[in-house]
């Protein structure tokens, strides 16, 4: 059995559902049940036989364009583990791009960032190349960048706080840097941070990194380790937006792509194309009166 939940433009839901019903029936996947969630009356839930998530996803994308959605093979409920990317997911910027702006290097670095997020460049090579361009920058630029350029995504505090209130363990794992991730995690309420560390000497960035690289493999490893620690059967949720997040998104029980690049969106169980991060709470079926408003 497949379960799909959708948040779409209210005025078009009926027509979109009718179109999806016809398309699915023609492909041998009739809808077994459809209705709005009791505690989230703007969320449409569908139940369908079988396990062909790819077919269902294609039909929903065709009929509910510009929606937020989630497809699951198990009952959907609040997760026990939440692991999230940071840049362009929990915050509305790419930290290294904004830091580069202080050095007048943003166009060069942003171009490398974009290609890495699209999956066109090896992450570690792209990271080291970008960090190398920052050599000689005063360490104080990090605090300036944090104060003036870095802000939480809409709904980020509500998402993290609400999940924690329901017993969920929260982890921020990023290919960015502890210098940014630690303050962001403290602001949003994440309980653990995994990130890269910039090299600093004599008050300036060295252009190098200290320690291992937090790449896509590390992101997946963190999710798997935390899942094992919490216990078998405890559902996990992951959010991200770029190619570096794909292994983590695929490993989670529910991987949700947030206003994501095409490859990350295609790999995910869920997608937020329309709303903010509180759409995740809606798709999980958590009543709005139970949200923790930060």
Active-site residue set = 85, 87
> With 0-12 CB in 10 A as exposed, 13-18 as middle and 19+ as buried, what is 200?
middle
Residue 26, SS3 per DSSP: helix
Distance (Å, rounded) from C-alpha 72 to C-alpha 54?
Answer: 11
Distance (Å, rounded) from C-alpha 107 to C-alpha 122?
Answer: 19
At residue 134, φ and ψ (nearest 5 deg) are -90, 0
Q: Which residue's structure tokens are 């059967």?
A: 233
Q: How many CA atoms lie within 13 A of 54 on its CB side?
A: 1
Distance (Å, rounded) from C-alpha 46 to C-alpha 73?
Answer: 12
Distance (Å, rounded) from C-alpha 145 to C-alpha 155?
Answer: 22
Beta bridge partners of 237: 82, 254
Of 235, 228, 130, the closest CA to residue 175 belongs to 130
Residue 42, SS3 per DSSP: strand
Q: Which residue's structure tokens are 């994308």?
A: 61
Beta bridge partners of 91: 87, 152
Dihedral sign from CA coordinates of 191, 245, 42, 46: negative
């Amino acid at each position: 059995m497949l379960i799909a939940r959708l948040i779409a433009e209210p005025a078009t839901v009926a027509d979109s559902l009718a179109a999806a019903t016809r398309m699915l029936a023609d492909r041998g996947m009739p809808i077994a049940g459809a209705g709005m969630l009791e505690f989230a009356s703007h969320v449409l839930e569908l139940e369908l036989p079988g396990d062909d998530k790819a077919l269902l996803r294609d039909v929903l994308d065709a009929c509910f364009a510009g929606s937020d959605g989630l497809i699951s093979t198990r009952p959907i409920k609040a997760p026990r583990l939440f692991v999230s990317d940071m840049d362009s997911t929990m915050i509305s910027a790419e930290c290294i791009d904004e830091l580069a702006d202080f050095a007048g290097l943003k166009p060069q670095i942003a171009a490398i960032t974009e290609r890495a997020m699209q999956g066109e460049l090896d992450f570690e090579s792209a990271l080291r190349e970008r960090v190398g361009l920052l050599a000689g920058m005063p360490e104080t630029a990090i605090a300036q960048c944090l104060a003036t350029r870095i802000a939480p995504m809409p709904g980020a505090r509500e998402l993290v706080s609400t999940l924690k209130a329901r017993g969920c363990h929260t982890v921020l794992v990023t290919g960015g840097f502890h210098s940014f991730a630690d303050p962001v995690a403290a602001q949003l309420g994440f309980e653990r941070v995994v990130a890269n560390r910039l090299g600093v000497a004599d008050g300036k960035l060295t252009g190098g990194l200290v320690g291992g690289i937090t790449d896509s493999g590390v992101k997946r490893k963190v999710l798997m380790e935390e899942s094992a620690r919490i216990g078998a059967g405890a559902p996990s949720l992951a959010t991200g937006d770029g190619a570096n997040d794909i292994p983590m998104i695929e490993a989670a029980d529910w991987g949700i792509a947030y206003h994501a690049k095409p490859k990350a969106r295609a790999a995910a169980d869920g997608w937020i194309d329309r709303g903010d991060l509180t759409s995740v709470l809606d798709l999980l079926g958590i009543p709005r009166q139970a949200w923790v408003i930060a």
